[in-house]
Structure 1
Amino acid sequence: MNPDVRPRLRQIELFAGLTDDQLDWLASVTEERHLGDGEVLFQDGDPARHFHVLLDGELVVTKVVDGREELLTRHTTRPRPGDGHEGKPPAAHRFTGELPMLTGGDYVATAVAVGPTTVLSCSKQAFFDILARCPSVAAVLLPVLAWRITSSEVQARNRATVTALGTFAAGLAHELNNPAAAVARAAEDLGPVIDALADTAEKWGHRADDRERSVLRQTLDEIVRTPSPADTDPFALADLEEELDDWARERGAQRPTALASALAERGLDRPWLETRVTGIRQQVFPVALDQLSALLEARGLTTQLRTAGPRISALVAATRDYTNLDRAPRQEFWVPAGLDATLTMLRPKLTKVRIVRQYAPDIPPITGYPTEINQVWTNLIDNAVDAMDGEGVLTLRTCLQGNCVTVEIGDTGCGIPAGSLSRIFEPFYTTKDVGKGTGLGLHLSYRIVTQRHGGAMSACSAPGDTWMTVRLPVNATHTKGDC
């Protein structure tokens, strides 16, 4: 063996405890590889065939998540001042690829060389031989592996939080757009309408007598009290509105559009109006129509404002229920309220989805972390919608079973392959295409339900009929396995 290899290996913490014979054997089952700047060591999704030890240089480990390349970590033998690796053990810099070796899976990220880089690579069989023949290697490797799994879960949880906040922000912005736009339009239109109302009111007040003013008030009240028809033909509605507008203009009205719209929306036609205003003199008739139109337009705008205000308040309340920004972390909460708040936040994705709610009336509140549970609902509903390609039936059921609130979320999507069903809660396992899923969403949801809340989570699936079941204990004090 090359006499320079043994001291180089002994400087690496992973091999520091090996004897000279073990180092000689190690050199015989490994291969030294030299990488140029930008050269790929392994690719996300490729079969994991080698374990790699960093002898010199730097590796950048990245993963494509939702179409964006994210930096997971850097392994380097040349640390620079200011490089903060957030508690990363020094030994973790010097090897990579052990996780897929141990799980029998594929590489879960991509490693690329930064500058000239040298690695020592060994086959999967040689990796297991090293663990068997060199116990000191396992003593260093396993704590690093545990740290990496924990770190990956923290990163995924943070990513899930950011994704949930992004989904939440998009949903909130979409839902607020209509009432906010209504408020903006009403505020913009209200100024000219008030001016017109003041102008027509002055003319009407000077020219009309008490009897005519009473006729106009009664007509206005009757129009406002008349509900819109349940079924409306849009073409007939447009024709009626045009007929009323033309009729009013022929009689000298200057601003009859609001009057024509208000009457047509309620199914009131020209003969109806003529019978109501027969007592108004011809010389003040145009002013009467303009006054009536201005009053109806002003009422219409104030109605828009009254409608938009509560809608915005309701959205703010749903936001508060979803995020629990103004409450303690652990608290009592009602599961159906969290499901409904999540549906509100995801509404832009649910435009073509029929939602069926089957909430039992006797659901008691539970104690736990509602923000985390709402992230579970977000993940499960989002997955269901993806499985249906945005169209289908989403069913939400809740019931009380013993000491547990049971939530079932069903979809009519493509289903989960039978071979994957037993693995969907495993970390890094995903049935989505590379770049579309981290394989940690369901795993994190599972941990939130089982470890944070002492509940249980399961799945059953067939094409067109997939159900995710979550059971959460009611009592504040619980132990894992209550459900």
Structure 2
Amino acid sequence: MSDTEEVQLQPCEPGKLTLAELKTLFLFEKLTDEQLTWIADHGCTMHAPAGSLVIREGDPAEIFLVLLSGTIALTRRVGQDDVQTSRTEQRGVYMGATQAYIRDEGVQRTYMASMRALDDADFFVLSAADFGWMMREWFPMAIHLLEGLALGMRSTQAAISERQRLVALGALSAGLMHELNNPAAAASRATGALRQRVAGMRHKLGMLAAGKVDPDRLDALVELQEEVIERAAKAPELTAMQAADREDELGDWMEQRNVTGGWDLAPVFAQGGLDVACLDDMEAKVGSRELLDQAIHWIGYALETEQLMSDIEDATGRVSSLVSAAKQYSQLDRAAHQWIDVHTGLDSTLVMLGHKIGKGIKVVKEYDRSLPQVPSHPAELNQVWTNIIDNAVQAMNGAGTLTLRTYGEDGHVVVSIGDTGPGVPEELRKRVFEPFFTTKAVGEGTGLGLDISYRIVVNGHGGDIVLQSRPGDTRFLVKLPIAEPSSR
């Protein structure tokens, strides 16, 4: 038998297993002799050679199997790969048509995973119809409870999932409004200050014009103003110590010449890149100690005007970048499925979560910009990045390093999101992707964030998501196939 050939169900042979043998299986140990006789009459044994495929994921669920001996492995199809989800040799474990007892009219049950025999294995087998009848007839109360639990969990998960999306949307909206408010308020303050400076500049210009200034000197002063503005635009950024020393020098120079408010003007001139030599040149071009005060204030207003306009430009640019990031994040006016650069979604998510990340967390980006685009649903992937980054930020409790790294591996683009938090204990790592499982306090988490992320990556994109964790180094690895997943 080839590795890809499915084992055929052997004809049932009543009495193949004795009642005593059936009682050794934990599923049947509490049943009556009459019930065990019925099971023995309707069941059969099946042998699977080593390496053979016993059931295939996606095929109609027609049999219920109980392992008698041997070792088996369960796998799920992820893109082009088979991912092993379980491996066991425990006698009595069961698989196959495990939900045959649920009555959903018109719904065809299929195997949720493939099962392969790793060595020679033997099974006790019931047909799905017999197993379903047995469960409904013998355990009616349990079946009502199980059906109610299944439907209840489905409804609860849908309701909580919708609520989680609304809460996430509210949190992101609040964060975006907070981020937009800062540059908007800065632009408003700068505009008010600019209006005052322009008014003062007009006043000083009038005083200079009425001061019996020689036209040539006034032209020279206007030319000097343009030179000062150009110099300010190219001024190198000073350290705090350099700026303080420069302000002291300029303040002393102005104080020696009785310039009014000289110590208030000194920081403006220092920020504009002016030094004492520039003030000496200004004094020479004015040529009059009486007009020097007005000329310096006029130049000061010009410098402040330029600085305020730069502040307004930065603030409005920040607003524009936030709006652009919000559009990238929400994928407005874009196709649901498209080829994308994963770095765009990561960056827009960081912007949207900027208010949560705060200043205590250092963000490190190690992007491989040469990676190809991947086929995806961008809005869904952004939800994945949001869930993982949000968890990482909460784990670090406001202080640590958030590392985003991308690289290629075996036909996949891998996104690694790491944090320096306390880590996830080994006994909890296998459960982090389970629905409703959370380590947060009551009311702080729904336990659906990572479950939704897993389903988006694995079921929606044919990829995989893996958790690696130790104290001080926790990483979620999201693997996305470079090629379109093949349909099966």
Q: TM-score interval w.r.t. the shorter chain?
A: 0.5 to 0.7
Whether the aligned pair in 2 keeps the contact of 1:248 and 1:289 (CA below 8 Å) is no
Mapping 1:39-438, distance limit 5 Å: 134-137=138-141, 140-207=144-211, 208-224=213-229, 225-226=231-232, 227-233=234-240, 237-238=243-244, 240-241=246-247, 244=250, 248=254, 251=257, 259-266=265-272, 268-282=274-288, 283-350=290-357, 351-438=359-446
Equivalent pairs: percent with the same residue? 39
**1: CA distance, partners of 2:264 / 2:174:** 35
**2: CA distance, partners of 1:460 / 1:427:** 19
Letter of the 1:289 partner, please give it: I
Cα deviation, 1:323-346, whole Å, max 9, x if unaligned, reads 112323223322111111111111
Q: Does 1:441 align with 2:449?
A: yes
Instruction: Flag the 1:210–1:421 CA change in 2: closer, same or farther, 3 A.
Output: same
Whether the aligned pair in 2 keeps the contact of 1:395 and 1:409 (CA below 8 Å) is yes
Who is 1:23 aligned against? none
Who is 1:68 aligned against? none
Whether the aligned pair in 2 keeps the contact of 1:164 and 1:375 (CA below 8 Å) is no
Greater mean alpha carbon deviation, residues 292-301 or residues 171-180: 171-180
Alpha-carbon offset, residue 377 of structure 1: 0.6
Who is 1:470 aligned against? 478
Alpha-carbon offset, residue 252 of structure 1: 6.4
**1: CA distance, partners of 2:309 / 2:389:** 37
Who is 2:24 aligned against? none
Cα deviation, 1:48-85, whole Å, max 9, x if unaligned, reads xxxxxxxxxxxxxxxxxxxxxxxxxxxxxxxxxxxxxx
**1: CA distance, partners of 2:401 / 2:294:** 55
Greater mean alpha carbon deviation, residues 169-178 or residues 300-309: 169-178
- List structure 1 runs of 4+ shifted beyond 6 angstroms: 130-133
Whether the aligned pair in 2 keeps the contact of 1:229 and 1:266 (CA below 8 Å) is no
**2: CA distance, partners of 1:416 / 1:244:** 57
**1: CA distance, partners of 2:174 / 2:244:** 35
SS at 1:459's partner residue?
Answer: strand
Instruction: Flag the 1:185–1:250 CA change in 2: closer, same or farther, 3 A.
Output: farther
Q: Does 1:450 align with 2:454?
A: no
Gapped runs of 5+ residues in structure 1? 1-129
Letter of the 2:403 partner, please give it: T
Alpha-carbon offset, residue 237 of structure 1: 3.6
Alpha-carbon offset, residue 140 of structure 1: 4.0
**2: CA distance, partners of 1:465 / 1:184:** 43
Greater mean alpha carbon deviation, residues 383-392 or residues 168-177: 168-177
Whether the aligned pair in 2 keeps the contact of 1:259 and 1:293 (CA below 8 Å) is yes
Alpha-carbon offset, residue 254 of structure 1: 5.7
Alpha-carbon offset, residue 320 of structure 1: 0.8
Alpha-carbon offset, residue 315 of structure 1: 1.2
Whether the aligned pair in 2 keeps the contact of 1:353 and 1:390 (CA below 8 Å) is yes
Letter of the 2:443 partner, please give it: G
Cα deviation, 1:72-118, whole Å, max 9, x if unaligned, reads xxxxxxxxxxxxxxxxxxxxxxxxxxxxxxxxxxxxxxxxxxxxxxx
Greater mean alpha carbon deviation, residues 133-142 or residues 358-367: 133-142
SS at 1:154's partner residue?
Answer: helix
Instruction: Flag the 1:256–1:371 CA change in 2: closer, same or farther, 3 A.
Output: farther
Instruction: Flag the 1:245–1:231 CA change in 2: closer, same or farther, 3 A.
Output: closer
Who is 1:113 aligned against? none
**1: CA distance, partners of 2:389 / 2:260:** 54
Alpha-carbon offset, residue 316 of structure 1: 0.9
Whether the aligned pair in 2 keeps the contact of 1:415 and 1:464 (CA below 8 Å) is yes
Alpha-carbon offset, residue 258 of structure 1: 7.0
- Aligned Cα RMSD in Å? 2.8
Whether the aligned pair in 1 keeps the contact of 2:424 and 2:470 (CA below 8 Å) is yes
Who is 2:7 aligned against? none
SS at 2:404's partner residue?
Answer: strand
SS at 1:279's partner residue?
Answer: helix
Alpha-carbon offset, residue 436 of structure 1: 2.4
Work out the number of aligned pairs and report it: 350
Whether the aligned pair in 2 keeps the contact of 1:388 and 1:411 (CA below 8 Å) is yes
Letter of the 1:337 partner, please give it: T
Whether the aligned pair in 2 keeps the contact of 1:216 and 1:292 (CA below 8 Å) is no
Alpha-carbon offset, residue 476 of structure 1: 4.0
SS at 1:311's partner residue?
Answer: helix
Alpha-carbon offset, residue 379 of structure 1: 0.9
Alpha-carbon offset, residue 477 of structure 1: 4.8
Letter of the 2:199 partner, please give it: D
Who is 1:121 aligned against? none
Gapped runs of 5+ residues in structure 2? 1-133
Letter of the 2:336 partner, please give it: P
Cα deviation, 1:5-43, whole Å, max 9, x if unaligned, reads xxxxxxxxxxxxxxxxxxxxxxxxxxxxxxxxxxxxxxx
Greater mean alpha carbon deviation, residues 364-373 or residues 458-467: 364-373
Q: What is the TM-score of this pair, normalised by structure 1?
A: 0.65
Q: What is the TM-score of this pair, normalised by structure 2?
A: 0.65
